[in-house]
Chains A and B, each alone.
Chain A
Amino acid sequence: MRRLTICLSGFLLTCVAVVAQDPSSATQQSSSVSQDSKTAASSHESVVGDSGEASETKGEHNYHLRLGTITVGAGYFSGPSFYPYGPYGWYPYYYYSAALWDPFWGPYGRFGYLPSLAYGNDKGEVKLAADPKQAGVYIDGAYAGTADRLKTLWLEPGAYDLSLSSTGRESFHQRIYVLTGKSLKITAKLARQDPAETKEEKQ
């Protein structure tokens, strides 16, 4: 007769899933239009240097070193088979956001409906930094939340009109282009409105 497996306690301080960035992403540049592209940097740097020296691009591979799972746990095992923890799920990058972290669930827009802004394999990343942090963020006219809560958005590939607005500040508008697996960095500083102008608007 086989004993039933009884797990006494949650055995994992699970998956310290650090995804080491592509080494070349360190060469990311903050752009004049605040657009940034990890992969662009990674794939171009060796080919087209900033000095303008370049040659025809060949189909080069991008190499990444990723820190996989580090698991530490304790438990009671007894049964037909032993489950070796560890080397499985080596690609935690895809797991953590989808399974454990989804802060953007259900952001219904004021004028429309926004799809999920959570991580997706086939999406692009938009990193948003705004001043003030409480500025309202609109994507194609639909309210998505405040900037402090939307530090990272994952959007389907496409062209979007990003707007930020806050009381007493001038609005910020930017056309953004999202590509799969790429990262854009948007820094939006909303300038203070002229008090006289604000008064007129109120009237």
Chain B
Amino acid sequence: MSRKLWTVVTVGCLASLAFAAPKGTVPRSSANRYTAHTQGDGISIGATILTPKEARKTFVSDVNHCCVVIEFAIYPEKDKPLTVSLDSFTLRLTGSEAAAKPSSAKMVSATLQKKAQDQRDVSVSPTAGVGYGSGSAYDPATGTQRRGGVYTTAGVAVAIAPPGGEPGSSEKDRAVMETELSEKGLPEGATTAPVAGYLYFPLSRTQKPTYQLEYMLNGNKVTLAFQ
């Protein structure tokens, strides 16, 4: 009995540990599996920019509302630790001065919450009724004694939700969005194994955009271009 209990507790602990820390995504088999990739000093990097459709499929949070999302992966040289930091990235919009550093999950979730709070839900709802009644009763609407018979009713209701009633606008939702974005985000810190995850750049999309991702790799600037 106690053995069973210990097994359950151990499995529970392991499961909670496994789900605790930011994990990013599973790196693809190699860097060239990503849309843009490059290699240097034994280190390979690859990145793919998510289309709005892909972002919508990948995230429950409405990341399209604020960000350009890039899936990034880095494959360090064997047994040579590498430090991954969000500060090393810059996304530039080709042909313009617009550029951005990746935002943290906390920042993105707060932005999304604010945008959701600005939206309002307007509902229009027609109603209809028909019935038959016998006897009589006082109708407060007309001030008359109403006799029995067939009666009909019709109406249209318009409801405008108060600000802040939209999905994603509550504090709980913000926390969930932060969790999601953090867990799927690129893990920071020293690593010897390949890591991958999403980067959130606070840039608005334009028509047929082309971007350049700049990454400072051991003091050298590496550029990945997206068409």
Footprint of B on A, CB under 8 Å? 3, 5, 11-12, 29, 31-33, 35, 37, 39-41, 43-44, 47-50, 52-82, 84-87, 90-91, 111, 122, 124, 141, 156-159, 161, 175-182, 184
Bound Cα distance A52, B208 (Å): 7
Closest to B208 in A: A52
Stretch at the interface among B60-68, B86-94, B185-193: B60-68
A33, B128: Cβ atoms closer than 8 Å: no
Known: A57-B65, A111-B8, A158-B172. Is A69-B129 also a contact (CB below 8 A)?
yes
Chain B residues positioned under 8 Å from A91 (CB to CB): 123, 125, 157, 159
Interface size on B, residues (CB 8 A): 69
Bound Cα distance A58, B138 (Å): 50
Bound Cα distance A40, B56 (Å): 7
Chain B residues positioned under 8 Å from A158 (CB to CB): 172, 176
Q: Which 4 A-B pairs have the closest CB atoms?
A: A87-B155, A86-B153, A59-B118, A86-B129
Bound Cα distance A39, B136 (Å): 47
Closest to B114 in A: A59
Known: A62-B119, A67-B126. Is A179-B61 also a contact (CB below 8 A)?
yes
Chain A residues positioned under 8 Å from B135 (CB to CB): 3, 76-78
Stretch at the interface among B32-40, B162-170, B217-225: B162-170
Stretch at the interface among B75-83, B100-108, B139-147: B139-147
Closest to B56 in A: A40
Bound Cα distance A93, B209 (Å): 41
**Closest-CB distance, A78 to chain B (whole angstroms):** 3
Which of these, A11, A61, A82, A156, contacts B146 with CB under 8 Å?
A82
Bound Cα distance A59, B138 (Å): 47
Chain A residues positioned under 8 Å from B170 (CB to CB): 122, 157, 180
B58 adjacent to chain A (CB < 8 Å): yes
A177, B61: Cβ atoms closer than 8 Å: yes
A156, B172: Cβ atoms closer than 8 Å: yes
**Closest-CB distance, A81 to chain B (whole angstroms):** 5
A-B contact pairs, 9 of them (CB 8 A): A52-B205, A54-B52, A61-B120, A67-B125, A68-B127, A75-B131, A77-B133, A87-B155, A91-B157
Bound Cα distance A33, B132 (Å): 52
A49, B52: Cβ atoms closer than 8 Å: yes
Known: A55-B204, A74-B131. Is A44-B122 also a contact (CB below 8 A)?
no
**Closest-CB distance, B56 to chain A (whole angstroms):** 6
Chain B residues positioned under 8 Å from A59 (CB to CB): 115, 118-120
**Closest-CB distance, B23 to chain A (whole angstroms):** 9
Give 9 new A-B contacts, CB below 8 A, not counting A54-B52, A86-B153. Answer: A33-B57, A54-B204, A72-B129, A73-B132, A77-B133, A86-B155, A87-B157, A156-B172, A179-B168
B127, A61: Cβ atoms closer than 8 Å: no
B204, A56: Cβ atoms closer than 8 Å: yes
